[in-house]
């Protein structure tokens, strides 16, 4: 198969169906810009969610009185629980100091004694910073001897889990919808090119042209359309994320700074959309008889 012929036929499709090709490229570009914006939002929401999860810790209050040996034994038991990353002991005196820092008053002057019990501040491992994972750790902690009470921000974790699921479903649905619209328009453009060359294709079939020889130019045309659309989308996203956002507030620049691989993926996504669309068109609209 001649590479020059394949490239020539692929590019000629742009001239024969200029309007539909333009619409296809624009649609791919807009779709990828929207997908790119959704991706940036999703990435930053995920960062925010992980930051919130990282701030969630458990506090296990100890029964009093407790000896240094008892504290050490409880610490070993806590660290042996699956999901526990670390356990920091907070004495009564340290708890009083923290109270003063947070509320601006000395607990001794308010109550004339220190009612704050010693405790352990417990950090969770990755994979346990969810409502279900934290509940497993909580259930194990409350069964330990010497622990009187365990508290953590259960409602916050449950809210984060619900919002995460909602955001994931919304982003996935919009991404699929936008991608399908791009694939449809690319397929329609290739279909028009095939229709315009139907007599030539029939002649090529009769003289023994193989399926790959007939189909490849149209597949390549779809890839080129996707490449152009992806290139335009990558440039628009770069301008939007690196320059456009700064007109609103410089504080957003940190959240919109994306690596070069992100723009490379946008370009590859455009080519993939073009290939899928052209493949659908070729398979659907080119009917070749099986050679006997």
CATH at residue 87: 3.30.70.3040
Q: 133, 152, 171: which is the final residue of a domain?
A: 152
Instruction: Please tell me whether the peptide bond between 253 and the residue prior to it is cis, using omega within 30 degrees of 0.
Output: no
Contact (Cβ atoms closer than 8 angstroms) between residue 25 and residue 228: yes
Cβ count near 9 (within 10 Å): 19
Q: What is the pLDDT along the chain (292 residues), one digit of tens a residue?
A: 455 655 565 565 556 556 667 777 787 788 788 878 877 877 877 777 777 787 888 999 998 888 889 889 999 999 999 999 999 998 888 877 877 777 777 666 666 666 778 899 999 998 888 889 999 999 999 999 999 899 998 888 888 888 877 877 887 787 788 777 777 776 776 676 666 666 666 666 666 666 666 677 777 877 888 888 889 989 998 888 877 666 655 555 666 678 888 899 989 988 888 888 778 777 766 654 433 3
What domain count does the chain have?
2
- Nearest Cα neighbor of 218 from 246, 240, 198 is 198
- What six digits make up the tokens of 43? 């990435």
Question: Do 165 and 250 have their domain in common?
Answer: yes
Q: Is 241 inside any structural domain? A: yes
Reading across the β-sheet that carries 84-90, which strands appear in turn? 84-90, 119-124, 58-62, 147-151
Residues 222 and 275 in one domain: yes
Residues 215, 176 share a domain: yes
Q: Note whether 191 and 251 are same-domain residues.
A: yes
- CA distances, 255 to each of 40, 42, 167, 175 (Å): 8, 11, 18, 21
Nearest to 141 by CA among 60, 223, 247: 60
Same domain, 87 and 129: yes
User: Within a domain: residue 250?
Assistant: yes
Q: Are residues 186 and 281 in the same domain?
A: yes
Nearest-5° Cα angle at 193, 190 to 196: 150
Please indicate, yes or no, whether residues 181 and 253 belong to a single structural domain of this protein: yes
pLDDT confidence of residue 103: 72
pTM tops 0.75, yes or no = no
* Same structural domain, 177 and 89: no
Burial class (CB in 10 A: 0-12, 13-18, 19+), 121: middle
- Owning domain of residue 239: 3-51+160-285
HSE-up of 149 (CA within 13 Å, CB side)?
Answer: 7
Q: Is residue 221 part of a domain?
A: yes
Q: Identify the domain boundary among 152, 182, 209.
A: 152
Do the domain assignments include residue 99? yes
Do residues 176 and 261 share a domain? yes
């Amino acid at each position: 198969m001649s590479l020059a012929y394949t490239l020539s036929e692929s590019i000629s499709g742009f001239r024969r169906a200029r309007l539909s090709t333009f619409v296809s490229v624009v649609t791919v570009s807009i779709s990828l810009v929207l997908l790119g914006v959704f991706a940036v939002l999703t990435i930053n929401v995920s960062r925010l969610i992980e930051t919130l999860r990282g701030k969630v810790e458990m506090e296990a209050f100890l029964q009093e009185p407790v000896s240094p040996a008892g504290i050490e034994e409880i610490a070993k038991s806590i660290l042996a629980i699956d999901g526990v990353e670390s356990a920091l002991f907070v004495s009564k005196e340290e708890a009083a100091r923290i109270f003063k820092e947070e509320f601006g008053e000395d607990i001794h002057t308010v109550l004339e004694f220190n009612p704050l019990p010693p405790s352990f501040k417990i950090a969770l491992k990755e994979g346990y910073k969810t409502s279900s994972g934290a509940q497993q750790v909580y259930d194990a902690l409350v069964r330990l001897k010497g622990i009187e009470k365990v508290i953590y921000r259960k409602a916050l974790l449950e809210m984060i889990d619900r919002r995460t699921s909602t955001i994931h479903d919304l982003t996935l649905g919009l991404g699929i919808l936008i991608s399908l619209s791009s694939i449809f328009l690319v397929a329609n453009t290739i279909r028009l090119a095939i229709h315009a060359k139907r007599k030539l294709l029939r002649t090529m079939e009769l003289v023994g042209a193989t399926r790959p020889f007939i189909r490849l130019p149209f597949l390549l045309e779809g890839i080129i359309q996707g490449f152009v659309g992806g290139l335009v989308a990558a440039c628009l996203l770069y301008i939007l994320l690196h320059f456009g956002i700064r007109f609103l507030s410089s504080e957003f620049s940190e959240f919109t700074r994306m690596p070069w691989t992100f723009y490379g993926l946008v370009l590859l996504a455009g080519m993939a959309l073009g290939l899928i669309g052209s493949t659908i068109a070729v398979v659907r609209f080119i009917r070749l008889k099986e050679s006997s």
